[in-house]
Amino acid sequence: MGKVKVINAGEAAAMIESGSTIATGGFVGCTHPEELTAALEKHFLAKGVPSDLTLVYAAGQGDGKTRGLNHFGHDGMLKRVVGGHWNLAPAMGRLALENKIEAYNFPQGVISQLFREIAGGNPGRITHVGLKTFVDPRNDGGKLNEKTTEDLVELIELNGREWLFYKAFPINIGLLRGTSSDSLGNISFENEVISAEALAIATAVKNCGGKVIVQVERMVDDYSRNPKNIQIPGLYVDAVIISKPAGHMQTYGEQFNPNYVRQGDIASLDLPRMKDGPRRYIAKRAFQEICPGAIVNLGIGLPEGIAQIAMEQGKIEDMTLTVESGPIGGIPASGLSFGASTFPQAIIDQPYMFDFYDGGGLDIAFLGMAESDQYGNVNVSKFSGRIAGIGGFMNITQNAEKVIFTGTFTAGGLQIDFKDGKLQIEQEGRFDKFVNNVEHITFSGDYAREKNQTVMYITERAVFRLIDSGLELIEIAPGIDLNRDILDHMAFKPKISDNLKIMSSTIFK
């Protein structure tokens, strides 16, 4: 093996030719090569190249403002994007909404696994994930706008069963990040909270004849590390850059948190208590669905509060929390540190985590719910004037044994109070979430029924479950009027259980 090139970020950006297909690694801000993508943006704005790029990535990478994949959000810089989650890169989402780029949204797990298929020279990824959703070619085929016309996913039949076939394509450039490199380009991840799909991307790019560029914190002596700790072999690496600290934050929320990269006793952690209000009530009711010993996934946002409730009740060690980015055990971080976990038991590569999820490894998963319809479909991916994307939502919800969707019953200004043993609606939300037909089928009620999956929809005032005819109302909060507070704010009438229960008042105290 020869010596690896050590260059600066500007020189790395100059290596990328117009028309290239680029794969970037990372999850929110975890292991995203911020110094590299920022330099690429600077190079484009100064010289107008590289242009007409195809960008492919699995997890959302960005801060919702200017960092991460927002660096690609300029007219002419991109031709096509194939991504798993869009919400954290509004600059790029704007280009899709304005029909200026070809835009695809595929499941995060599928894309992370597709990198391995490309690496192995295979034609693509065959999986059940995405069937009967907007990714299914019988619907939109994952296309997000009119400019996007090429079919990158096909419906096929194999062994008498339907599958989706996501096509492979060559990748020319891999932009990745690690912690340390030696002179041979061997990359280790000592301070990184996840390894994500770095190895899969590097292998895919190398076997496509492309260039792998890795951002690191430091150079270390040759032969100074355990070879089992090398995440990306120098054989795959064409160049490394030494990043400045500002371009190499451990997450977008923290410069460095040692608890993200070491084991520890989660019972010793001091999580903040959730504030009273609808989010707390929903989290407390959702927590009741967890059985001791369960393997759990908590989605970003409201479901994060379930860990806080578990800690309050002294039951955090009764379950194993996982994050699709790779951590197993520990407590998932939130906000701009989402993707990391405090005191993880183990951290595995993201494609392998999705192997575990896709094969049915999750006992229960808690996800957000932007809107749901009469068929039990859920939308979290696309709304009028906004592209959020699916991330790992589709892999998780289609494969967990039990799925719990959580969210307030209405949105936009909802104010509630619990007085005298009754839940009171002080101000109703402006937007009803239970509609006749969701705009985007991110979760398919029909597919869930085919699999006999247990599905629930938990709000602060009502609990539904999925049945053959659609949604069934099974619980309402004390003090809530069935017609005024529930049915009048639904575009359809659900089945009402013959054994309609009142939610326990302990949830609201």
Q: Specify which residues 231 forms β-bridges with.
A: none
Burial (Cβ within 10 Å: 0-12, 13-18, ≥19) of residue 45? exposed
Closest to 83 measured CA to CA, from 108, 119, 115:
108
Closest to 60 measured CA to CA, from 51, 49, 52, 72:
72
Beta carbons of 66 and 31 less than 8 angstroms apart: no
Closest to 266 measured CA to CA, from 324, 315, 325:
315
Taking only the tens of pLDDT, the chain with its 509 residues reads: 689 999 999 999 999 999 999 999 999 999 999 999 999 999 999 999 999 999 999 999 999 999 999 999 999 999 999 999 999 999 999 999 999 999 999 999 999 999 999 999 999 999 999 999 999 999 999 999 999 999 999 999 999 999 999 999 999 999 999 999 999 999 999 999 999 999 999 999 999 999 999 999 999 999 999 999 999 999 999 999 999 999 999 999 999 999 999 999 999 998 888 899 999 999 999 999 999 999 999 998 888 899 999 999 999 999 999 999 999 999 999 999 999 999 999 999 999 999 999 999 999 999 999 999 999 999 999 987 789 999 999 999 999 999 999 999 999 999 999 999 999 999 999 999 999 999 999 999 999 999 999 999 999 999 999 999 999 999 999 999 999 999 999 999 999 999 999 999 999 98
Beta carbons of 395 and 107 less than 8 angstroms apart: yes
189: its two tokens? 């991840």
Active site residues: 324
* CA–CA–CA angle 390, 286, 338 (5° rounding): 45
Burial (Cβ within 10 Å: 0-12, 13-18, ≥19) of residue 155? middle
Domains of the chain: 5-244 (3.40.1080.10), 266-507 (3.40.1080.10)
Q: Specify which residues 406 forms β-bridges with.
A: 368, 458
Beta carbons of 214 and 178 less than 8 angstroms apart: yes
- Kindly report whether the global pTM for this prediction surpasses the value 0.95: yes
| Phi, psi angle pair for 143, to nearest 5° | -80, 140
